[in-house]
């Protein structure tokens, strides 16, 4: 196993809404502190339990809002990476790893991206999605080994998720990737952590203490899910895989997604269902091709050519078509 090269000094574009400091003990982490709002939790009725959890969940969006500048940097970094043939590689453990896996797996059916473009690495491997193998998250060696197998390069973005911000597996993987030139980012729910120090872009959503002390599958995981949604949806939108607010790159693999594609075309082009169905069929069941055909008044080969020229950016393909006519 090769020795991890120390991460280079912080760059001028490295942004974090927390400050660097030595690692703190787990008992000092905000996410591990006791929550006054849930004192006597085990004595509450079902409705009271639901109200307390709901009240605490309402704080998550506000915490994420404070991290929007860093989230925007991550969106642009991922969009740039994918445009240049790179990858977004998530790294996580436990609940954070499962959130990473979920976002990675959900993108292809919604945006038709190649599965290898957005990947996840989880401590313990795929079996850890269903069965807890949390002991692996303490291994720096395994974190380095698993990311090294993906051969990160300067084209890639490696994004580590850890509610505590100090998971050795994740910190080690991000440190290794950054030393190999990859752009690195992280999502954590505590300030002043080793993971934030290891990443170029540190996204810190301080959601506060959990209802059940230390149960970061709750507010912290909710924040991580919200942020990963923003990053991949934002990046795909920047790449032109969304037109207006419509998911035009939907992969029509089942009846629900076929209906969604038809509805998208009807709304985008203000046409009836029959016209939408006919056009999608003639476009080879591709919503982007059908949309360019209708909006630019061109045939399928021309629509395909224009989409290729625009790297799949639907709006640019349409607007370039209009300018050329």
Give the residue numbers marked as catalytic.
106, 137
Q: CA triplet 60, 64, 66: central angle to 5 degrees? A: 125
Residue with tokens 């939108």: 237
Handedness of CA 318, 303, 307, 252 (dihedral sign): positive
CA angle centred on 60, ends 55 and 66, rounded to 5°: 135
Q: Based on the number of CB atoms within 10 Å of its own CB, is 59 exposed (0-12), middle (13-18) or buried (19 or more)?
A: middle
Are 262 and 273 in contact, with CB atoms under 8 Å apart? Answer: yes
What is the spatial distance between Cα 99 and Cα 115, in angstroms, rounded to a whole number?
16
Tell the residue number behind the tokens 């476009």, with chain if given.
283
> What gap in Å lies between CA 290 and CA 304, rounded to an integer?
9
Q: Helix, strand, coil proportions of the chain in percent (round to 5)?
A: 55, 10, 35
Residue 184 contacts residue 16 (beta carbons within 8 Å): no
Count of CB atoms situated within 10 Å of the CB of 134:
15
**Which tokens hold the place of 248?**
């035009």
Q: Under a CB-based contact definition with an 8 Å cutoff, are residues 184 and 73 in contact?
A: no
**End-to-end C-alpha distance for the chain, whole angstroms:** 59
The answer to whether 177 and 146 have CB atoms below 8 angstroms apart is no
CB 203 within 8 Å of CB 71: yes
Indicate the helix (H) or strand (E) that contains 134: none
């Amino acid at each position: 196993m090769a020795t991890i090269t120390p991460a280079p000094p912080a760059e001028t574009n490295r942004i974090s809404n927390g400050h660097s400091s030595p690692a703190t003990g787990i008992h000092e982490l905000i996410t591990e502190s006791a929550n006054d709002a849930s004192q006597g939790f085990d004595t509450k009725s079902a409705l009271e339990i639901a109200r307390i959890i709901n009240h605490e969940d309402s704080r998550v969006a506000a915490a994420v809002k404070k991290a929007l500048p860093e989230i925007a940097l991550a969106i642009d970094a991922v969009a740039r990476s994918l445009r240049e043939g790179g990858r977004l590689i998530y790294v996580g453990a436990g609940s954070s790893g499962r959130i990473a896996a979920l976002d990675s797996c959900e993108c292809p059916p919604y945006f038709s991206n190649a599965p290898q473009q957005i990947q996840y690495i989880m401590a313990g491997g795929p079996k850890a999605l269903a069965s807890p193998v949390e002991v692996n998250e303490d291994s720096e060696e395994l974190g380095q080994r698993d990311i090294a197998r993906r051969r990160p390069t300067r084209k890639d973005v490696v994004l580590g998720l850890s509610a505590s911000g100090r998971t050795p597996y994740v910190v080690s993987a991000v440190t290794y990737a950054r030393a190999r030139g990859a752009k690195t980012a992280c999502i954590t729910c505590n300030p002043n952590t080793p993971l934030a120090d290891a990443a170029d872009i540190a996204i810190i959503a301080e959601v506060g203490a959990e209802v059940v002390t230390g149960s970061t599958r709750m507010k912290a995981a909710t924040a991580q899910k919200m942020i990963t949604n923003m990053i991949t949806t934002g990046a795909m939108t920047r790449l032109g895989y969304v037109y207006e607010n419509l998911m035009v790159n939907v992969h029509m693999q089942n009846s629900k997604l076929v209906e969604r594609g038809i509805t998208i075309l009807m709304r985008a082009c203000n046409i009836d269902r029959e016209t939408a169905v006919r056009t999608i069929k003639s476009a080879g069941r591709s919503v982007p091709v059908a949309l360019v055909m209708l909006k630019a008044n061109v045939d399928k080969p021309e629509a395909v050519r224009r989409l290729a020229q625009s790297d799949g950016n639907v709006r640019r393909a349409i607007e370039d078509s209009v300018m050329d006519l």
